[in-house]
Amino acid sequence: MRKNVKLFKSIIFLLVLLLTSSKAELTNKVIISVGNEIVTNYDLSREKKYLNVITVGRSKDLNDQELKKIAVDSLIKDKIKITALANYDNIIINDEIINNQIIQSTQNIGFRSIKDFKTYLEFEKYEFEEFKKKILLELQWNQLVYQFYKNQIVIDKEKIDKELKILIAGQKKKVEYLVYEIFIENAAIKELNKKIEETSIKHNIANEEEEQNEIIIEAESAFYNNKKKSIDSEKSIEEVIDVKIEDQITIDDLIKNIKEKGFENTAIQFSSSLSAQQGGKLGWVSESKFSQLLLKFIKKTKIGSITEPIPISEGIIILKVENKRVVEEIIDLEKKMKELIDVEKNKQLNNFSTNYFNQVKNNIKIKYFND
C-alpha cells in the first residue's frame, strides 16, 4: 500500500513538473528574430506593460491588435539598437546621467517624484529596473550616434545670433502653449477637405519668402528634439496627398479616431513623431519656437481644441492646443545662447540618429514566427 502511495506521489510530481515546463516554454516562445536577437511572448507582454506605464494607462483604450503592433514595433527598434551597440563596448553612461534622465522622464509622464512613480509601478506590476533598462538603452544609443557624428555638426552662428536677438526683443513677456502633436509621415490622404487645402496653399504662398522653415517644435521633455520637418517648396500639396503608406489613413479616419479614442491615444497609435509614446505631448512651448505657418494655425485654434490638419511635404501635422499662458522672462543671455546651440545640435543629431538607425536596420534580417 505504501509503495502505491509513493508511486502515486511520484506520478503527480512528474505531471506538475511537465505542466510547469510546458507553461514556461509557451511563455518564452520566440515570435520574432531581429538578427541574432530574439523577441518572445514574455518580452511582448512586458512591452505592453511598459507602454501602459509610460502612457499612464491610456494604452488600455487600444484594442489587442493595435497595442500588439505598437509593442512589436517598439521591441524591434530596441533589438536593432542593441545589435548596433553590441559592437561597441566603450559606451559608458554614468549613474548621474541615468538618474537625471529617469527623473526627467518620470516628470514628463506626470509624476512629481520617483517615489510616486515607484508606487505606481508596484500597482502596475512593472519593475523599476525594467524601466531603467529602457532609459539606459536610449542614452547609450544617443551616445553612440554622438560619437559617430559629433564632428559633422555645424552651428550657424548668424542664425543663433538672430534667434537670440528676437528673444531679447520679446523678453518682457513670453506667450507659451501647452501642445500635443500628431505627425503622420507620408500619409495617404485620400479625401482632403477643400477648405484645408485652400488655407494651406494660401499659407504656403504667404511664407515662400520667409526664412523660417522648421515645422516641428522643440519639446522641453525630449532628450533629442522631435523629428524636424520643413516645407519643401519644390513639392505641391497634391504631390504630398498622393504619397502612400501601409496604413492608408485618411484625414477623416484620423479625425474620427481622435473623437472616438482621444487625441493622446490617436498619437500613440498613429503618430510618427518621437513624442508618440507620450501621447504626443510636447509640453509648454514658447511662441518663438513655432514657424510662422504653424503659429497662425495655433492662434486661431481655441484652447482645448485641435488645429486643422496641416499638409507639409512629408505628411500632415495636427496639434492639440491644450492651454496657453503668459510668463515674465528675464533672459540669461549666456545660458540662452547655450540652449539655442544645444537645440541646433540635437536637431542635427536626431537626423543623424534616424539615418544611422535605418542603415543598421537595412543590414538586419527580421523574421516573424507564428504565435
Q: Determine the pLDDT at residue 201.
A: 47
Structural domains of the chain ordered from first start: 172-329 (3.10.50.40)
3-state secondary structure of 32: strand
CA 257, CA 274: separation in Å to the nearest integer?
20
The confidence score (pLDDT) of residue 152 equals 92
- List C-alpha distances in Å: 161 to 42, 132, 209, 261: 52, 38, 20, 43
Q: Is the pTM of this model over 0.75?
A: no
Instruction: Give residue 4's pLDDT.
Output: 54
pLDDT for res 50: 93
Q: Which sign, positive or negative, has the C-alpha torsion 13, 17, 22, 27?
A: positive
What Cα–Cα distance (Å) separates residue 303 from each residue in 57, 263, 307? Answer: 24, 14, 10
> Which of the 8 DSSP states describes residue 5?
H
Note the pLDDT of residue 177.
93
The whole-number pLDDT of residue 251 equals 80
Largest Cα span, the chain: 98
Digit-coded pLDDT (tens) for 70-112: 999 999 999 999 999 998 988 889 999 999 999 999 998 888 8
**Which segments of the chain have a pLDDT < 70?**
1-27, 170-172, 186-249, 312-313, 329, 371
Element housing 45 (H / E):
helix 41-54
If DSSP codes are grouped into helix, strand and coil, which group holds residue 150? helix
What per-residue confidence (pLDDT) applies to 139?
94
Closest to 306 in 3D by CA, of 295, 294, 319? 319
For residue 39, what are the β-bridge partners?
32
**Nearest-CA neighbor of 128 among 144, 111, 153, 152?**
111
Rounded to whole angstroms, how far apart are CA atoms 171 and 169? 6
